[in-house]
Each structure stands twice: as structure tokens, then as C-alpha cells.
Amino acid sequence: MNARMVIRRVGGGLLVLWLVSLLTFLMVKLIPGDPAEVIAGENASVADVDQIREQLGLNRPVVEQYFSWLGGVLHGDLGTSLFTGRPVTTSILDAAPPTLALALTAIVLAMVIGVGAGVVAGLRQGTWLDRLISTVATLGIAMPSFWVAMLLVSVFALSLKWLPATTYVPMSNGFWPWLSHILIPAVALGLATAAELARHTRGCVADVLTRPYIRTARSRGSSTTRLVRRHVLRNAAIPVVTVLGLQTSRLIGGTIVIEAVVGISGLGSLAVNSVLQRDYPVIQGYVLFCAVVVVVINLVVDLAYGWINPKVRAS
């Protein structure tokens, strides 16, 4: 992929981030309630509420508030929490490791299970194995992730006692303690993504196997393993990478529900608490952080196109 396309993609991503910042700032202002009244308490006087509103800068015009906040963002300052007094950047960085670990583990599991099952189903299309994988994939898409999480906790944590039920342990405490605590929520979160990847991979592999160059390679005596490695996977990869990029963005938002089910204090808990408290700076910082993650994922997907398919680099 040439430098001009990369610059164009990065520029488009920056434009998206600016629009997200603008829309988020304006929509947060539409949330019912006044954070100054929440901070002041139920028995506070009007003068006390006005004083707090002035201290927080909430009495300034919306345009002035936005550009003041945007200027801080450009310098790496997302503002200060209205309730805890902590910098928003610090709060997000403290809450991000559990969420990112959960999302990345779910993505890895989804890729290994989904792509592997899809390739097997595509190579064995029409057989009982193909029908079994397709049925399981359909069930995986249909089942809500929070229900799967509760089912896994009930079976593997409460009944069999193989894995812990709740909380998060950092990897600094050891790989197995970390993995054992994150495995149940990661499987629950990544199941639908694995099912979606399996369906798309199966369809792409089945389509590639009908191409003339595959029949030519088979006539020359190429083994199935060689065909899959050199021809099938590479030519079927672009649609799968596209789905993976979209599903990865969805997983970031899906962590909110899973964290609530298994008791992980990550970005999801931070977002929910900030909404309940009407903590505007934290809400804006959280949404902007998620937008940055999604934009980076889309950029990586675009770059992967050029690496997978030389035609994209040439165009």
C-alpha cells in the first residue's frame, strides 16, 4: 500500500475523531439532570448549585466549553472528573488493562476457533461436519453473550469449580491466574465473533475452491495442505479480515455487559458509573478513547488488505 493511501486513511481517521468529539460533546449536554446539583446534594441551595456550576465552568457557553475541552485533548488532557477529581486520562488508563485484555483474548479465541472451523467446513462442504459447524455457528450468533457468560459461570465456576467466577487478576500475578480469571468472560464475549468468522470463512473457502486456478493446481498434483496454505487462505482472507475488523469494534462495546456479569472493573464499569453520575468529562473521554481504538483497527484492516492482496497495493 503506497504512502498516499496511508496518509489519506490517517486523514480520514482524524476527521472521524473530530466528528466523534463534536457529537459526543453535544449529545452529553442532552443528558437529563445537572451534575452540579448531584455534587451539591439534595439539600443544597440554589446559590450553592450556581457556585459549583461556576467552579466547574458549566455556566460558560457550550461553544467555549467545547473548544476549551478540545484544546486540552490536543495536549493529551481529557479533563478532570467532576466527582473524583482525578484526571480522566488517568482513570481511563487505570481501567483500560482489564477491558483490553478481555477484548484481545476474545479476539484471539474467535480467530483460532472461527477461522479454523470455517476452513474445515469449507473444505468438507456438504458433509455432516459442514452441517454441524454451520448449525453450531448459527447457535453461537443467536445466543446473547451475557447469557453465555452466566451459563459458563454456573457450569465451570460454581458446579465444576474449574475456574474462578468473578474479578480480574493482572498478568503480573502469573499467566495461569490471569488466564483462569479471564477465560470465561473471553469465551462468552468471543463466541458470537467466532461463529460469524466461521460462517464467512466457510463461504469464502467454498467460493475459492471453485476457481479455475484451484482446479489447475489440483491437476498438477498439489496436496490439500499446500492448496490451503498457498492459495485458499490468502484469496479468502480479505472478506474474513473485513468481518474481523467489524467484529473487533463490536467487542469493545460488548465488554460493558460482560464486565457487569463477571464483576470486572474495567472501562465498562467506568462508563456506566460516569453516565449514572453525569460525569461529562469521563463520558467524553471514554467515547473518544473507544473511537481512537476503532479508527486504529480500521487502519490496520486497510493496511492488511495491501499485505494480503498485491492488487490492492498496485491500485
Q: Write the pLDDT tens digit of every residue in 143-187.
A: 888 899 899 989 998 888 888 877 888 888 888 989 888 999 999
pLDDT at 135: 92
CA atoms of 154 and 284, how far apart (whole Å): 36
CA atoms of 82 and 66, how far apart (whole Å): 16
pLDDT at 298 over 60: yes
Mean per-residue pLDDT over the chain, rounded = 83
pTM: 0.82
pLDDT at 131 over 90: yes
Q: Over the stretch 263-276, which tens digit does the pLDDT of each residue have? A: 888 888 888 888 88
Q: Maximum distance among all alpha carbons in the chain?
A: 87
Q: Over the stretch 227-263, which tens digit does the pLDDT of each residue have? A: 777 777 777 777 788 888 888 878 877 888 888 888 8
pLDDT at 299 over 90: no
CA atoms of 152 and 109, how far apart (whole Å): 16
- Cα–Cα distances (Å) from 172 to 98, 176, 255, 259, 263, in that order, read 12, 10, 22, 20, 20
Q: Is 194 exposed, middle or buried (0-12, 13-18, 19+ CB in 10 A)?
A: buried
pLDDT at 2 over 70: no
Range of lowest pLDDT (52-56, 91-95, 108-112) = 52-56
Highest mean pLDDT among 69-78, 210-219, 236-245: 69-78
Helices in the chain by DSSP H: which ranges? 3-28, 35-40, 46-56, 62-74, 88-110, 116-123, 128-142, 145-152, 175-208, 212-219, 224-227, 233-262, 267-277, 280-308, 310-314
Burial 54-83 (b: 16+ CB within 10 A, else e): eebebeeeeeebbeebeebbeeeebbbbbb
Q: Over the stretch 81-97, which tens digit does the pLDDT of each residue have? A: 877 888 998 999 999 89
Check residue 80 and report its DSSP letter.
B
Q: Cβ of 186: how many Cβ atoms within 10 Å?
A: 25
- Of 22, 67, 32, nearest to 284 by C-alpha is 22
CA atoms of 280 and 127, how far apart (whole Å): 55
CA atoms of 13 and 8, how far apart (whole Å): 9
Residues of the chain with CATH 1.10.3720.10: 92-314
CATH of 92-314, one of 3.40.50.1220, 1.10.10.60, 1.10.3720.10, 1.10.1200.10: 1.10.3720.10
